[in-house]
Chains A and B, each alone.
Chain A
């Protein structure tokens, strides 16, 4: 299947008795910007490590760019730019020297163009001015930017970015979003692990959601949202009353706040909800039927609990 940039079959990783990644079948189409979501500890980074051949799966396998991994790692990985679990560089080398080292390690990189490519990558992440500074003096966001620059040293067909916006300022976050858009426009596939759902809504074409090691959803973004059940939202100063009406009508997952009540519509017609509210004398200030936000979908898929899955 060469129309998939990443394809895994039953990818599983066990650490001792814990199953960190459980039979994951990833399918990232070429050209997609794939948002890889999931709560802390749900197995995103572990999956990414397996994809890149850093750890070997307990079971299952995968292809990158149409070639089986890890057998073809030497052929495939030069086309893959990666950011895995935060930046990692030599503290006593400058940012530029760190990139020089990575470029020198790459047998497919041309020595002649090295300087120009490094400068271009630094420029792309806005780090040119700090390129000569020692890495240990970098701020969190500068370190993160350098890691992104390292992924961009060569033209890539696939970028695997594990939380690239971690620690970035709002401008940086926006630049990364723009960058991801540019890379996708240039034809690259991007696998983007992130916790920023607003990011995902703006840049991703596809979404995969991990929960306790399992891939619980994988769809084009638009489909994920339209599949999700629409909710009725009532703006009112009597939210308790409104919630009672919604409940009697058979709406589910009722939520109340100070100025609104909402519930999942299910089979109930919206006009019937409005009629009932008026009939029961609830003062309705506004009414809307909304597709749930990505955040709602995410919470529905992965649960409300704050505790990480151990």
Chain B
């Protein structure tokens, strides 16, 4: 038998191809541009209007009031605003498309006959989602930082504890915030990957995931459901403000990271259980 001579290489070619596929897709490029546009709109609006008081927007850290004094806060305010819907929608688009999109286009059956093992396919698909989950908040932050510096200038940043930190340190904190949000959004992406294995309609999975995020936010606002709050997906997303305390309390982000980790483990397992033996009839 000549099958024995098949050599399977460990290679990043498929992963690279997946990342490229995501990157060259016009829809994703437009989505990323939209994410980057929000801080610009926000900063320009603040510059033009100079409102008397900060707009009221829920329970997250509120950075609006400080924008006029330091452009750094444009990035933070934009992250806070986009975290409620825009960032989750961006990740939902990627995640919903992951398996369902390939099924919908008929490319799934050809990948599987290459063959790409089903576990490997899920791993690569999830890697693509995770990349998106980190790139999305970073894009918002970079765009916000640039436009903020241009319109309002930089300088030392006042932390939530009232102390001052240098601008360089603050940017480092901003990077950590993006990484934290990347982990949170990766948890969302894991749910999306699972939903994406359930259907051949990528839009269906995307909408379901976006609605799930919104529902989670809403449930988090209802005091009567406080027993449920610790388990909500979005519960700890706004904890990112912890990174703007001085000194940073290391335990502040632990619940959020644990919660995200649990979601990732549970839903990746569910995706695998669902997909590994599923009939691919698309």
Contact = CB atoms under 8 A, between A and B. Distances in A.
Q: Do A and B come from one complex?
A: yes
Nearest to B117: A74
B109 A79 contact: no
B107 A89 contact: yes
A53 B278 CA distance: 10
A105 B111 contact: yes
B161 to A, nearest CB: 49
A140 B10 CA distance: 36
A66 to B, nearest CB: 6
B6 interface: yes
Given A49-B281, A54-B112, A101 B21 contact: yes
Interface string B76-106: 0000000000000000000000000000011
Contact of A77 (B7, B107, B113): B113
B114 interface: yes
Interface string B2-39: 11101111110110110001001110000000000000
A180 B210 CA distance: 48
Interface residues of B, number: 35
Interface stretch (A90-98, A215-223, A238-246, A252-260): A90-98
Contacts of B265: none
A78 to B, nearest CB: 5
Contacts of A52: 109, 112-113
Contact of B281 (A55, A91, A111): A55
Contacts of B231: none
B105 to A, nearest CB: 6
Interface stretch (A80-88, A168-176, A283-291): A80-88
Interface string B244-282: 000000000000000000000000000000000101110
Given A93-B21, A105-B14, A108-B6, A55 B106 contact: no
Which among A2, A87, A88, A105 has the highest number of chain B CB atoms within 10 Å? A105
B22 to A, nearest CB: 11
Contacts of A2: 1
Contact of B279 (A56, A66, A84, A107): A56
A195 interface: no
Contacts of B223: none
B114 A84 contact: no
Given A74-B117, A84-B113, A79 B9 contact: no
A75 B115 CA distance: 9
Given A75-B6, A84-B109, A92-B24, A105 B114 contact: yes
A123 interface: no
A262 interface: no
Contacts of A76: 3
Contacts of B6: 75, 78-79, 108
B10 to A, nearest CB: 8
B116 interface: yes
Nearest to A75: B3
Which among B3, B25, B105, B112 has the highest number of chain A CB atoms within 10 Å? B3
Given A56-B279, A92-B25, A111-B11, A150 B2 contact: no
Contacts of A101: 17, 21
A111 B11 CA distance: 9
A72 interface: yes
B16 A92 contact: no
A296 interface: no
B280 A102 contact: no
Contact of A78 (B115, B277, B279): B115
B2 A77 contact: no
Interface string B126-142: 00000000000000000
B14 A67 contact: no
A106 interface: yes
For the complex of A and B, the 7 pairs showing the least CB-CB separation, nearest first, are A88-B106, A55-B279, A77-B115, A104-B17, A104-B13, A107-B8, A75-B3
Interface of A: 2, 49, 52-56, 65-67, 72-80, 82, 84-93, 100-102, 104-108, 111, 150, 157
Given A88-B109, A107-B8, 17 more contacts: A53-B112, A54-B109, A54-B113, A54-B280, A55-B281, A75-B4, A75-B6, A82-B110, A82-B113, A88-B107, A93-B21, A100-B17, A102-B111, A105-B111, A107-B9, A107-B11, A107-B14
Interface of B: 1-4, 6-11, 13-14, 16-17, 21, 24-26, 105-117, 277, 279-281
5 contacts: A53-B115, A67-B3, A74-B8, A77-B115, A89-B110
